[in-house]
Amino acid sequence: MSDMTYGDYLRLDRILDAQEPRSGAHDELLFIVIHQASELWMKLCLHELEGAREALKADDLDPAFKMMSRVSRVQAQLIQSWEVLSTMTPADYSAVRPHLGTSSGFQSAQYRLIEYILGNKNPKMTAVHEGRDTDYARLREAEKLPSLYDEALRVLDRRGISIPDSHLERDFTKPYEASDAVEAAWMEVYRNPKDRWDLYELAEKLVDLQYHFQLWRFGHLKTVERVIGYKTGTGGTPGVPYLESVVAKTFFPELLTLRTKL
């Protein structure tokens, strides 16, 4: 163990040999590194979000707050990565695109797992990964589990702020649906933040996650728009119109709607 080097510990031989440009274009290395680095950051996001969900399940809120804050900071790194990728011009990308085949960020299993743990379940998106056994199994399992928000609502209910049974024990494979009763429960927290400070902080940590996730989506949209315009995506999606359709989607709707009524 004493003779372990920096490169040994980080497995840099494997990481730095994992870039295999196919086009000969100068900017292909940029394209590969940005996406590989993003997958590493997403791996960390999943690690932290899963840990935060377990902490909420155990009513251990302080560690959950730390993990959720870390994810928000990682999301800032992911958002910044679009700034770097946007230095690719349309001509630069055109030299790379023919070598991508049908590969697409749409096929990122880790991105989908993040959406699932935040509550946006969609079996059609799981089906995209049929044939990739490990990814498909992870997504099928993730469909069945409560989301981070589901566990947050259970915390409220255990603290004496009633949540309807329809939102405590539901079919977790389905996308979350907003509820007036859940909004009223969060409203009780927001109207008395000093009396329920940890629950108030929980709500704001969730809002922070959603805020950064939407910025990440928006950065993706604007980068694609800047680099390829309105071309169809390599994975067969409509490209920019598809990205526009998902930017406004929210994970924790009541935490936004209650702000209008406060």
Which residues does 118 contact at the CB level (< 8 Å), separation at least 6? Answer: 49, 147, 148, 149, 209, 210, 213, 251
> Is 228 a known ligand-binding residue?
no
- Reference 198, options 73, 17, 56; nearest CA is 56
> Is 220 a known ligand-binding residue?
yes
> Is 234 a known ligand-binding residue?
yes
Q: Mapped to the 3 state alphabet, what secondary structure does the chain carry? A: CCCCCHHHHHCHHHHHCCCCCCCCCCCHHHHHHHHHHHHHHHHHHHHHHHHHHHHHHCCCHHHHHHHHHHHHHHHHHHHHHHHHHCCCCHHHHHHHHHHCCCCCHHHCHHHHHHHHHHCCCCHHHHHCCCCCHHHHHHHHHHHHCCCHHHHHHHHHHHCCCCCCHHHHCCCCCCCCCCCHHHHHHHHHHHHCCCCCHHHHHHHHHHHHHHHHHHHHHHHHHHHHHHHHCCCCCCCCCCCHHHHHHHHCCCCCCHHHHHHHHC
> Is 242 a known ligand-binding residue?
no
> Is 34 a known ligand-binding residue?
yes
Distance, CA of 190 to CA of 155 (rounded, Å): 15
> Is 96 a known ligand-binding residue?
no
> Is 11 a known ligand-binding residue?
no
> Is 26 a known ligand-binding residue?
no
Distance, CA of 186 to CA of 199 (rounded, Å): 9
- Residue ranges for the known binding site for substrate are 31-35, 93, 97, 234
- Residue ranges for the known binding site are 31-35, 93, 97, 220, 234
- Residue ranges for the known binding site for heme are 220
